[in-house]
Structure 1
Amino acid sequence: MNLELFSLPYMPLLIRLKCRETVRLPRYLGSTLHGVMGWILSTNVEAYQYIFENRRYGCGKQDIVNPYILEPPRYQGIYNEGDMLCFKFILLGRAANYTKSVIDSMASVPYFEIGAERKKFELVDILQADRLETIWHSCRVYTESTVSNMLATQEQKGVSRCSIHLLTPLRIRRAGEQLREVDFPTIIRSITRRVAALTDRYGGHVQADAAAHICELSSSVHTTSSGLYWSEMSRYSNRRHIKMDLSGLLGAMTFEGEMYHFAPWLYAARCLHIGRNVTFGCGQVDVVLG
């Protein structure tokens, strides 16, 4: 029997672009970069269908979990010529098998055209984000760096406090409504369900009984402070020709309790994000245990 609570292969790509033309970019680049990556990957039909169109294989269900995450950069506003724009594109589970296809697609375009004015950004390099090892640079692929990581249980004993910072809008629905407040059990339920959905669809494993048990234990953790607020945000979908809501919760919360049990799941949340629209960068969290 595997004693690990869960495991999931993943490949975190850090993509670094250089601005070639001065441009003003929107406050939140998740939607913009999502569109750019979709357009670039559309040149590889097999990779595009598996990564971006997996809902086709889910009998039309809208909440089929996606095998990738996008982490946009912090807001800068104006990018001048020579400025760097860096973001992460994380392939989850069996999608990591398409790492070479993703890299080849990105390297095949002369420029990334970003923003409403389609200003040019040049690909500088692609790194394995966790180890900062070069995967692609100057038309060369370093295959030794294309081995995927394994998201697995990380033990941390003797912890009784936890701080969770919502870095990008957290969007969780309950009974069809967006939650304007969240507590510790809600966060734990979100990550256990996400790990279960990803491992079930894209490989890896999770101990279902352990996930259920940790959700029961979460009610014993106390909230000591909460500084959450609602952030209004929207994006325009060029594909659907409609404005889409990406509003959600931002801010930080602190908790106290027997945090040792929850550490593996909280670290997983830091990597996998939680809630809805993670493919646009939503639900990114930072976790500090002590």
Structure 2
Amino acid sequence: MSSSDLFSLSYMPLLIRLKCCESARLPRYLGSTLHGVIGWILSMNKDVYQYIFENRKYGCGKLDIVNPYILEPPRYQEIYEEGDLLCFKFILLGNACNYTKSVIDTLVSSPYFEIGAGRKKFKLVDIFQADKLEPIYQSGKINTKLTVSKLSSTREQKEISKCSVHLLTPLRIRRAGEQLRELDFPTIIRNITRRLAALTERYGGHLHADAAASVCELSSEVHTISSGLYWSEVSRYSNRRNMKMDLSGMLGAMTFEGEMYHFSPWLYAAQNLHIGRNVTFGCGQIDVVFG
């Protein structure tokens, strides 16, 4: 089987750039804050909001229905002064890409993005298709000729025996109802194969189920040669739920050794799709380096 037959999924990575209009002190972890801001703006378009933010309501009462989007927050900057740029990614997955134009139109129509407890004003500067750095909205004009990107398994690398995985945002994985505080390679591979299965089943694309099962079996042969993981305490206050929510998780880096070429397509997919829980708040973002 060629690597291109393993999986395929449409995605539209929107790089959104905002300009600060007044001095603002923002929370340490912006993922949940930006999630609320984007949700509030998109709620102005009922169809868009229902499909992207409330899709799990159509899951016949099942828990943990996968969402068709991801958010990638910026690195921490406590103080934004007037004129500073705040950049983040909002990534549509699978059939949610069909709503790209409506998402852009709705975001552009908002006079300001009000961020943080003080509802500080940020103004939309431009929006790019992140993987191609092509402008979608710039200088008041919208590019209507959009080409959806494809996440596919064509990046298999031969003759690699080591791999480092860096957890950039808190990784939250539950097992038997408890948050994991340790991580091994099979857990990473199981998470990305399950995530791909859930996304492609619900939002289009394909996954070769036998290949996914096979790579999960092979993952047990990979060994951890170093680990620098630590637990990061993160919480957010949800205005909608009127309660504090826990977003704590693992951060740090690990290095693995084995016949890594089997896993490179899946790890690149994990790099794009995140793993674990709460990816819509930016959790579970990883970076992968092969050696």
TM-score range, shorter chain: over 0.9
> Structure 1 residue 55: deviation in Å?
1.1
Q: Which residue of 1 aligns with 2:148?
A: 148
Task: Name the SS for the 2:219 alignment partner.
Answer: helix
Match of 2:288 in 1: 287
Which segments of 5 or more consecutive residues in structure 1 lack a partner in the other structure? none
2:158 maps to a residue whose letter is K
Partner of 1:272 in structure 2?
273
Aligned residues: 289
Q: Which portions of structure 1, spanning 4 or more consecutive aligned residues, are displaced by more than 2 angstroms?
A: none
Match of 1:90 in 2: 91
Spell out, residue by residue over 1:246-273, the C-alpha distance to the aligned partner (whole angstroms, 9 max, x if none): 0000000000000000000000000000
CA distance in 2, matches of 1:33, 1:123: 13
- What secondary structure is seen at the aligned counterpart in 1 of 2:262? helix
Q: CA deviation at 1:61?
A: 2.1
Which residue identity does 2:99 align to in structure 1? Y
Aligned residue in 2 for 1:110:
111
Paired position in structure 1 for 2:44: 43
**Residues 183-229 of structure 1 deviation map (CA, whole Å, 9 limit, x = unaligned):** 00000000000000000000000000000000000000010000000
Identity %: 77
Matches of 1:117 and 1:138, distance apart in 2: 28
TM-score (norm 2): 0.98
Whole-angstrom CA distance in 2 between matches of 1:127 and 1:26: 25
CA distance in structure 1 between the partners assigned to 2:164 and 2:7 by the alignment? 23
- Aligned equivalents of 1:273, 1:201: Cα separation in 2: 17
The one-character-per-residue Cα deviations of 1:58-117 (angstroms, maximum 9, x if unpaired) are 012230000000000000000000000000000000001100011001100111100111
Alignment match, 1:23: 24
Q: Distance in 2 between matches of 1:24 and 1:181?
A: 33
Amino acid across the alignment from 2:152: A
2:164 is the counterpart of 1:163: yes
The separation in 2 between residues aligned to 1:108 and 1:139, in whole angstroms, is 11
Equivalent position SS for 1:64: coil
Cα deviation for residue 283 of structure 1 reads 0.1
Range with greater deviation from structure 2 (84-93 or 153-162): 153-162
Deviation at 1:138, TM superposition (A): 2.6
1:139 Cα deviation after fit: 2.5
Q: Which residue of 2 is the match for residue 198 of structure 1?
A: 199
Aligned-pair CA distance for 1:140: 1.1
Whole-Å separation in 2 of the counterparts to 1:115 and 1:178: 28
- Structure 2 residues without counterparts, runs of 5 or longer: none
User: Where do residues 207-226 of structure 1 align in structure 2 (5 Å cutoff)?
Assistant: 207-226=208-227
Separation (CA, whole Å) in 1 of partners of 2:27 and 2:233: 14
Deviations 1:128-155 (A, max 9, x none): 00111100013211123x2110000122
State the alpha-carbon separation in 2 of the partners of residues 275 and 55 from structure 1: 17
Which one-letter code corresponds to 2:255 in the other structure? T
* Mapped partners of 1:152, 1:239: distance in 2: 36
